[in-house]
Amino acid sequence: MIKLNKFIQLVLISALSFTVFGCGYNSLVQMDEKVNQAWSQVENQYQRRADLIPNLVKTVQGYADFEKGVLVEVTELRSKVGQIKLSADDLADEDKFKKFQEAQDQLSGALSRLLVVAENYPQLKANENFLQLQTQLEGTENRIAVERKKFNEAVQEYNTSIRSFPTLITAKIFGFKDKQYFKSVLGTEKPPDVNFDFNKKETK
């Protein structure tokens, strides 16, 4: 009788294991890890950009007549971005993800405006330190775009899987949830509209 019970237990465990693995649990885990790895690369590039900004602002501040509003905007948005934390565990939270993306995209816009304004300062454009920072910043923005694209692709594969039969059953049982995408920002295909009055003196 005892041997029979053990045999039944073995059969049930084997059946359960087959059901779990047969419904794609391992695949879901692998895709989830792929999303997390892609996210870490996105974070790395955003951090790289954040690290470049103080040197960029410091270099530009050396030009007394440079548009102060742009520098204030970049500095404040960098601070705001630093306050919004988004871990891999938050990727299914639509509100948190939206706030993170909005803050990062606002900073991208401000940096783009700063570089456009810099075109009006020949001496700044000839500054070797500024040119190096500009090149690094532009390269980082490109890498951000690449890593965001890879992240979206990983999320698409993962989200499609957890909605497909039979893995959707496994996803519900083990709590796999949809993850958020980076969404394209309206107007990013156009150059920034910058209209500063450089003849207007700053009032004290």
pLDDT digits (tens, 9 = 90+) for 25-49: 999 999 999 999 999 999 999 999 9
CA distances from 71 to 31, 55, 78, 118, 183 (A): 41, 12, 11, 11, 27
Please indicate, yes or no, if residue 128 is contained in any of the structural domains.
Answer: yes
Q: Is the pLDDT of residue 89 over 50?
A: yes
102-107: average pLDDT: 96
CATH of the domain at 126: 1.20.1440.20
Query: In whole angstroms, what separates CA 150 from the centre of its chain?
Result: 11
Please indicate, yes or no, if residue 162 is contained in any of the structural domains.
Answer: yes
Query: What's the pTM?
Result: 0.81
Look at residue 24 in the predicted model and tell me its pLDDT. 85
Please indicate, yes or no, if residue 15 is contained in any of the structural domains.
Answer: no
Give exposure, 27-65, as e/b (b: 16+ Cβ within 10 Å): ebeebbebbbebbebbeebbeebbebbeebbebbeeeee
Look at residue 9 in the predicted model and tell me its pLDDT. 55
Please indicate, yes or no, if residue 163 is contained in any of the structural domains.
Answer: yes
What is the chain's length?
204
Please indicate, yes or no, if residue 33 is contained in any of the structural domains.
Answer: yes
Please indicate, yes or no, if residue 54 is contained in any of the structural domains.
Answer: yes
Please indicate, yes or no, if residue 202 is contained in any of the structural domains.
Answer: no
Please indicate, yes or no, if residue 181 is contained in any of the structural domains.
Answer: no
Write the pLDDT tens digit of every residue in 125-143: 899 999 999 999 999 999 9
Q: Angle at Cα 203 formed by Cα 199 and Cα 204, nearest 5°?
A: 150
Q: Structurally, how many domains does the chain consist of?
A: 1
Residue where the block lists tokens 């030009």:
63
Q: Please, which pLDDT band fits residue 197 given cuts at 50, 70 and 90?
A: very low
4-17: average pLDDT: 50
Q: Look at residues 185, 188, 187, 167 and name the one whose alpha carbon lies nearest to residue 25.
A: 167
Name the residue range of residue 155's domain. Answer: 25-174
